[in-house]
A and B are shown apart, each in its own frame.
Chain A
């Protein structure tokens, strides 16, 4: 399977600049997620690849093939629309067969392929049903079948699970992963839901409000080593501390006004200058919360518990520090009967390892 490459793509609608000088390579055969908030231009990007919009300038390649000016119906790319866009006057069979019918393929072959594809999405029993009689999840799968039956180079999915309820969504995500592994087609999946993206993606790109790509990488890379506070805050949640980098006793510390000095580890990926101002990103699950003081931790903060939210699997605490700053902490509820119960207004101690902090420029 071939790569998708966007080179220096610009797209504006009137005075509204959506994408500026955007370049991206999507590895062929991967499940690629395009994650970003509403209005970040991710849907526009998808539509450019599909051909529904044309670039103002720049180029789009599939492998070595320049598809920038090829019309929609001549690209070997298919789309699964957010609201499915199933043809209301056709039944399941006719909808799924559409792509083959318009290419003039023989009826016998069409029937065979439709049955086979419907089996892949577990809809063989509904083959002649009018689409109005299908549930949301079933319609979703018809849309999927209609697209993949054409064996495209690339399958584009525009927030396809947005209209489904949670349990159904979780199940569909797994089905999509299995489908992609089986077909080995490049999937480009657009979503604003980071949970979805982290679940399905082999690789992800995060887009910000200005239509720029902040970071591209594997889900783990992006989650553990975000490149900016935007990424750190958008994917998962985090606590951000601003301070000045110092060198001390052979190691590094960040001095945060009013809170103190904290030990940090300098990663090999990025280098920072001494005495520069930078940000520390500390994820809530990496903090330990205790009512009693502990030994052996380099980094320590004290505060009072202001809010407690129970999530079943975990509990989130909001701890107010002496300077008014609020820190978010996640504790997994490992024990049925916790030996230490933390309550509102309790004084608590927060600890973390220096390796679990990510240093950010912005």
Chain B
């Protein structure tokens, strides 16, 4: 059915122009910058002259194993963070949607709360716990479990903890949203037909929740790849991830072409991996 409001005295032209600003804004401030980055990645010198000379040189440097390892490290970070978040988030979402009648609103609110707090601060909160003189170490020492404080901060461990901590709500909420809309009568029907609770979950509940899982997956996987703050704060700048390397090129070295090339290269990797997962999810649904 034709849902256009253009069937009245508002001409098609006026409609078009009214809808345009958002479009144009996105074009200027999102797609053109992306284009600029791609263009810059091919330019030889840092200084952009009137007629820049194009080169593939920057991309060739990335076959150097150092940059490879950074990308791989970030991918590992993304995948592990996403996987752990998924494993932790699903039960939470399941519980909230299907079992927690009285506490549901309170728990949801508590879950969303960290989202409203500046996440630089949230990372800082972990400092407290993980510092050499920090809370956890103090407790463990005073309980006599360890003799000297553990190095918890500025480790890969700290980074992972920070990542999972910050991204967990993003995984829970989409899954919750889908599970909440689930028709409980389907569970009743499955049990009525003789299935166990586990089979019911695996064959009825889980397949229906896949769209939510997919949304959550991408809401964690993609941003976590380019994450800068958490690896830098929690890792003390000791480990190079994609985010920190890009920042290094642009802010410290001020080498825009090389930085752009790296950005493009790592984005391509991300895109390919993400598309792979997207394709797998589509296969699961159909």
Residue of B nearest to A73 (CB): B8
The answer to whether the Cβ of B49 comes within 8 Å of any Cβ in the partner chain is: no
Report B249 CB to chain A, min CB distance, Å. 51
From A52, A73, A74, B2 is in contact (CB under 8 Å) with A52
- Interface contact B8-A72, CB-CB below 8 Å: yes
A: contact size bracket: under 10
Q: Does A71 contact B (CB under 8 A)?
A: yes
Q: What distance in Å separates the Cβ of B79 from its nearest Cβ neighbour in chain A? A: 43
Residue in B1, B2, B9 whose CB lies within 8 Å of A71: B9
Is A53 an interface residue when CB atoms closer than 8 A count as contact? Answer: yes
Chain B window 192-205, contacts with chain A (Cβ cutoff 8 Å), 1 for yes, 0 for no: 00000000000000
Within 8 A of B (CB), among A66-100: 71-74
CB neighbours (8 Å) of B118 from chain A are none
Dominant secondary structure at the A interface: loop
A residues near B7, Cβ cutoff 8 Å? 51-54, 71-72
Q: Do B2 and A53 touch (CB < 8 A)?
A: yes
A267 CB, min distance to chain B CBs, angstroms: 42
Q: Which residue of A lies closest to B9 (CB)?
A: A71
Which residues from chain A contact B1 at a C-beta distance below 8 Å?
47, 52-53
Chain B's nearest CB lies how many Å from the CB of A211?
Answer: 16
Question: Which residues in B have their C-beta under 8 angstroms from that of A51?
Answer: 7
Measured in the bound complex, the distance between the Cα atoms of B6 and A53 in whole Å is 11
CA A72 to CA B2, docked complex, whole Å: 13
* Nearest neighbor of A54 in chain B, beta-carbon distance: B7
* Bound: A237/B247 CA distance, A: 79
Bound Cα distance from A74 to B8, whole angstroms: 9
Cα-based distance from A168 to B8 in the complex (angstroms): 36
Complex Cα distance A164/B84, Å? 51
Q: A53: which B residues are within 8 A, CB to CB? A: 1-2, 7
A74 to B10, CA, bound (A): 13
Provide the residues of chain B in CB contact with A52, threshold 8 Å.
1-2, 7
**Min distance, Cβ A74 to any Cβ of chain B, angstroms:** 8
**Residues in A whose Cβ lies below 8 Å from that of B8:** 71-73
User: What's the minimum C-beta distance from A52 to chain B, rounded to whole angstroms?
Assistant: 7
Q: Which of A33-67 contact B (CB under 8 A)?
A: 47, 51-54
Q: Which chain A residues have a beta carbon within 8 Å of chain B's beta carbons? A: 47, 51-54, 71-74
**Could you list which residues of chain B lie within 8 angstroms of chain A, going by C-beta atoms?**
1-2, 7-9
Given A51-B7, A53-B2, A73-B9: 12 more A-B contacts, CB < 8 Å: A47-B1, A52-B1, A52-B2, A52-B7, A53-B1, A54-B7, A71-B7, A71-B8, A71-B9, A72-B8, A73-B8, A74-B9
Question: Would you list 13 pairs from A and B whose C-beta atoms are within 8 A, ordered by A residue?
Answer: A47-B1, A51-B7, A52-B1, A52-B7, A53-B1, A53-B2, A53-B7, A71-B7, A71-B8, A71-B9, A72-B7, A72-B8, A73-B9
